[in-house]
Amino acid sequence: MVRSPPFHGSAANWSLRTPSEIVLVIAADAAAARRTPGSGLQDNESSGLTAAQEVRMRAALVVPREPLAGKQRKIKRGTTGFMLAMHVAAVFALLPQFWSWQAVVALAILYWVTVIGVTLGLHRLVSHRSFVAPRWVERTLILMGALACQSGPIEWVGLHRHHHKFSDQPNDHHDAARGLWWAHSEWMLHDIPALKEMHRFTGDLSSDAFYVWLDRWFLLLQLPVGAALYWYGNAAQVHGGGLGLVLWAIPLRLVVVYHVTWLVNSATHAFGYRNFNCPDLSRNCWWVAILSFGEGWHNNHHAHPSSARHGLRWFEFDITWQHIRLLRKFGLAKRIREARYTG
C-alpha cells in the first residue's frame, strides 16, 4: 500500500475514504494541479488516455494491493539461486587477497560498458526508439547491455514497455504501490503474469534472429570476458591473480549494476521531486541519476518516454544524453526526440 499519496490537500486521510471517494478526490486534485499557477507541475505528453482512464489510474495508486495469488507466491529457484550466487561471489571479491588497482580499472570500464549498454541501448534506443542509429551501432549497444545479465533483450524490452503501459498499477510487474522491496527486486523472484504478454510488446524484435539468439544465450557473453581477464591476471601476475580480476569484473560488477538498475524501479518511485503531473509515482532522484547515468530523472522520463533526453532542467545532468549527443556529432544518431521543460 502506498505510504503517501501523489497529491495532497483534501486527500490527506486515505484510510477513511472508499475507493469511489478516492477517485473523486484524485480527479479534483489532479485538475487543481493543472490549473493552479506556480504549482510546479506540467502536463505530460499525450498518452492517448481519456480523462476517465487517467482518473482510474490515479485512483489505483492508493488502493491497497491484494496478496499474491497462490501460484505467484512460489519463489523461482533458478533466478533466486543465480542472484544469491552472484551476491555471495561479490562479497568474496571484496576480500583483501583479491584487491588490485587492475581489478578496480576492470570494474570501472565494464561498469561503463554495461550501464551505457542498458541505458543507451536497451532503454532509450530500442525500448522507446527515441533516436535512430545504424544497425551495427544498435547491435553493439545491445551486446553491451546484455552483459548486465538482466535477462535477454527481448524480455528486457518487453517488460519495460509493459511497465510504461501499466506503471504503478496492480498489473505492473514491479508495481511500487506494492512496496519498495517488491519494486526493487522481489518481483523478479516470482512468476509474474507480464511474462505471458511479451508477444504483445516485442513484435519488432521477436522476428530478428540476432535478438532471438541473444535472448536465449545472453549468459554466454560472460565466458569470453571472464577467460580474457583470468588469462591476463595470471600472465601479468596481478595481485589476486586471474580469479581476483574475474570476481571484480563479473559478480561484483553485476551486483552493483543490478542494484543501480533496481533503484530506478524502486527509489525513483518513492523519493525525489516531480516536474510533471503523471498518473504514476515517478520521481526525479538526483543520486540515482548519478549512479545510473541519467535514468534517475524518472518523472521526466515517464512524462516524455519517447524523449532521448531525460535530464530536462539545467541542473539535471544526464550522462547518457551526452553520449547521444556525441553519437549525433559523428552522424551515428539521427531523428533524435527531445522533450523540453518550459517551467
| Domain match, 82 and 129 both | yes
What pLDDT does 208 receive? 96
Q: How many CB atoms lie within 10 A of CB 43?
A: 11
| Domain match, 223 and 168 both | yes
| Domain match, 51 and 85 both | no
What pLDDT does 56 receive? 76
Find the domain containing 45 and state its range.
9-60
d(CA 87, CA 308): 32
The count of domains in the chain is 2
Give alpha helix (H) positions in 101-152.
Answer: 101-116, 135-146
Task: Assess if residue 3 is contained within a domain.
Answer: no
Q: What is the pLDDT of residues 138-189, one digit of tens each?
A: 999 999 999 999 999 999 999 999 999 999 998 899 999 999 999 999 999 9
Exposed/middle/buried for residue 155 (C-beta within 10 Å: 0-12, 13-18, 19+): middle
Q: Which region, left, alpha or beta, applies to residue 219 given φ > 0 means left and ψ of -120 to 50 means alpha?
A: alpha
| Domain match, 55 and 141 both | no
Task: Assess if residue 150 is contained within a domain.
Answer: yes
Q: What is the pLDDT of residues 84-111, one digit of tens each?
A: 999 999 999 999 999 999 999 999 999 9
Q: What is the pLDDT of residues 17-37, one digit of tens each?
A: 333 333 333 333 444 444 333
| Domain match, 126 and 188 both | yes
Instruction: Report the candidate in 288, 72, 253, 262 with the shortest Cα–Cα distance to residue 185.
Output: 262
| Domain match, 241 and 319 both | yes
Q: Looking at the DSSP assignment, which residues form a beta bridge with residue 304?
A: none
| Domain match, 280 and 144 both | yes
| Domain match, 174 and 298 both | yes
Task: Assess if residue 251 is contained within a domain.
Answer: yes
| Domain match, 174 and 32 both | no
Task: Assess if residue 69 is contained within a domain.
Answer: no
Exposed/middle/buried for residue 280 (C-beta within 10 Å: 0-12, 13-18, 19+): buried
| Domain match, 157 and 294 both | yes
Task: Assess if residue 45 is contained within a domain.
Answer: yes
Q: Provide φ and ψ at 42, rounded to 5°.
A: -110, 160
Task: Assess if residue 2 is contained within a domain.
Answer: no
| Domain match, 128 and 259 both | yes
| Domain match, 197 and 314 both | yes
Task: Assess if residue 68 is contained within a domain.
Answer: no
pLDDT bracket for residue 68 (50, 70, 90): confident
Q: How many CB atoms lie within 10 A of CB 80?
A: 13
Task: Assess if residue 4 is contained within a domain.
Answer: no
d(CA 295, CA 263): 10
